[in-house]
Amino acid sequence: MSVGAPGAEDTVFRIIMAISICHMLNDTMQSLIPALYPMIKESYALDFTQIGLLGFVFQVTASLLQPLVGMYTDKRPLPYSLAAGMASTLTGLVLLAYAHSYWMLLLGAGVVGLGSSIFHPEASRVARLASGGRHGLAQALFQVGGNFGTAIGPLLAAFIVLPRGQESVAWFAVIALVGMTILWRVGRWYADHRRTNAKRPVAIPQILMSRNRVLFSIAVLAVLVFSKHLYMTSLSSYYTFYVIERFGVSVQQAQILLFVFLGAVAVGTIAGGPMSDWFGTKFVIWFSILGALPFTLALPYAGYTLTIVLTVVIGFVLASAFSAIVVFAQELVPGRVGMIAGLFFGLAFGVGGIGAAVLGVIADSQGIEFVYTICSYLPLLGLLTIFLPAIGKGKRHALKATA
């Protein structure tokens, strides 16, 4: 990869794709944690509450630190922190592979979460820097790498880790080393880009609305992230248990079904980027969250085949929202790319972590099927999109305005 720094107006696809690939590698390793739940639940005689706590430690370690990392790097960018975050993920994997107690599992999950908190804000910033103004597309390409990684993790767990045991998790250290190498090169591009554009004036668009209006809009976006990610957590963390209990499939079959769902999430994410750039981020937020409601309401009552179909549709529709929400928020708060990325990635991880713990308690007390009944109403919160300001209208609106 050439590391020459282009002008700010260029879309640097090689950098966006490098970041996306590393996001895939990063989230492949991270997705091993929920993919391992059925195995470690049996091996360590854990209940659903302890499984939920494991997810809580991983997700919250990431969520609490991501906004802080983003705020710091907005003022003092750290190009080589990307490779450092991958190194933390590598360390956490080794701890998980050789853990011999529940507390060591918690420590390993926490270190993997730390790597995520370092990686995501700066990686999102690099994607935006390389976007050439195509922010929705760049954010979606960056995000889809993570979605593919999350989808691949269960398959690797099903065909490598489950047959060979917990210690085979250490094999994925090779993936981390590959990611660190790529991210070091990306860090060089990032540093060169900053030097090349150091004296170039930065045009920060002005948003003509009050501070309270901006804060209210950020709060609405946060609630929308909550609804989306809590529902997605119910599937990513407990879908395997649901299909095993309800339909009697094997653990390996359940992991394959989880892969199918996560694959649909990946496709939906990449579709959401061009949709955001063309139709506008607000339209995509409407479509993505509220549009999933009929399918989530039907899921608890569906048979085996229809369950697979519904989860594919739900994954595709819901997934298009996140990159649109991040870009919309970055337009609301210009000049705070890292903080906004850290805030919303952190919120997503936090909701996932707390949601995993709470849903685990509910599953223990009321049953796993009850979880999907109560979660099916979460997309109703998409109605709050009506309170968002009329920005982020996309190229289609701009062309109509100039016609």
List, for residues 238-278, the tens digit of each pLDDT value.
898 899 999 998 888 888 898 889 888 888 888 877 787 77
Q: What is the mean pLDDT of residues 289-315?
A: 94
Query: Contact 135/9 with Cβ under 8 angstroms?
Result: no
Neighbour tally for 170: CB within 10 Å? 15
| Total residues belonging to the chain | 403
Quote the number of domains for the chain: 1
Residues whose CB falls within 8 Å of the CB of residue 285, separated by 6 or more in sequence, listed in order: 224, 321, 324, 325, 328, 382, 385, 388
- What is the crossing angle of helices 48-75 and 211-247, to 10°? 150
- Tell me if 301 is assigned to some domain: yes
265 in any annotated domain:
yes
DSSP state of 78: -
**3 within a domain of the structure (yes/no):** no
Predicted confidence at residue 204, as pLDDT, reads 53
Of the two residues 68 and 59, the one the predictor is more confident about is: 68
Q: Is residue 403 part of a domain?
A: no
172-195 confidence digits (pLDDT tens): 888 889 999 999 999 999 888 878
- The per-residue pLDDT for 399 is 44
Residue 200: pLDDT band with limits 50, 70, 90: low
What is the predicted pLDDT for the residue at 116?
84
Residue 226 lies in a domain: yes
Confidence category of residue 7, pLDDT binned at 50, 70, 90: very low
Is 5 among the domain residues?
no
Tens-digit pLDDT profile for residues 133-167: 777 778 888 887 887 787 777 778 778 877 887 78
338 in any annotated domain: yes
CATH number at residue 118: 1.20.1250.20
Instruction: State the Cα–Cα distance between residues 142 and 17, nearest whole angstrom.
Output: 7
Residues of the chain by 3-state class (helix, strand, coil), percent to 5: 85, 0, 15
Which residue has 């992991």 as its token pair? 255
In a domain, 6, yes or no: no
Parent domain of 126? 13-197+206-396
